[in-house]
Amino acid sequence: MFKIIAISALAALAQCGTVGVEAWPALHLFTTFKTDASVFTWDGSKLTPFKDVTATLKVDGDRNKIKIDAKVSIPLVGKVNAEVLADLTEGMAYEYVPFLGLCQKTPLNVTLQLKDVLQKVYSPNGGITTYDGESTAPWDNTKMYKFHGQGPDAVVSAYFDETQENGKWIQETPTDPKNPAVVVSIPNGEVQATFTDADFVISGCSKFETEKRINIWA
């Protein structure tokens, strides 16, 4: 789930800053921003809430970190809080679930410079992201700007509100048809933000276990 949300956060940018390039619409988006999200699965006919996940994401291209403050439904328990910090310099995700007293870390198996990657991936000249023109999403008949990018494991599509010139939906479709597509709703788009180091700290854990004890996202 770390990977899904992190990929969705990156895909939501689609471009860096305010971009005006022939054949590409101008979108007011940022490499450092805050956004609210809800997560669904898509079976080809309907959206289904994924564990009722709602989250606030903080993405900081300069600090090279993503912080996720989420609420997740657990069977027989209800909604619990969960914090995830992705440190892309270390290539590590840290997770804290207060209800379970869970403090664990998981390798992301990748290190990268977020700002540099975004400037390449979300550039018309980057050779990675394709602008598909105006389109509707399978679950939303509103005409939107659509972009997509092909990764080794999935195709990520991003839909943008034409009036607000900001993100609205992200769809990650795995190349393996046995895995469901994941759709992230970001109704308010990306809001430019200024963060401090304290915004990217999980204060509830004094140490993090490397052995994964439980996966609340499964």
* In-domain check, residue 169: yes
* In-domain check, residue 77: yes
Type of residue found at 141: N
Could you tell me the end-to-end alpha-carbon distance of the chain, in angstroms, rounded to an integer?
8
Q: What is the pLDDT of residues 119-168, one digit of tens each?
A: 776 778 877 788 999 999 999 999 999 999 888 889 999 999 999 999 99
Q: Let me know the angle formed at the C-alpha of 169 by 123 and 6, rounded to the nearest 5 degrees.
A: 65
Q: What is the pLDDT of residues 23-72, one digit of tens each?
A: 788 887 788 999 999 999 999 999 999 999 999 999 999 999 999 999 99
Per the document, the length of the chain is 218
pTM of the complete model: 0.87
CATH of the domain at 31: 2.50.20.30
Structural domain harbouring 169: 2-200
Structural domains of the chain, count: 1
Q: What is the pLDDT of residue 121?
A: 67
DSSP code of residue 21: B
Report whether pLDDT(19) > 50: no
* In-domain check, residue 141: yes
* Residue 185, beta-bridge partner list: 38, 169
Q: What is the pLDDT of residues 155-204, one digit of tens each?
A: 999 999 999 999 999 999 999 988 999 999 999 998 999 999 999 999 99
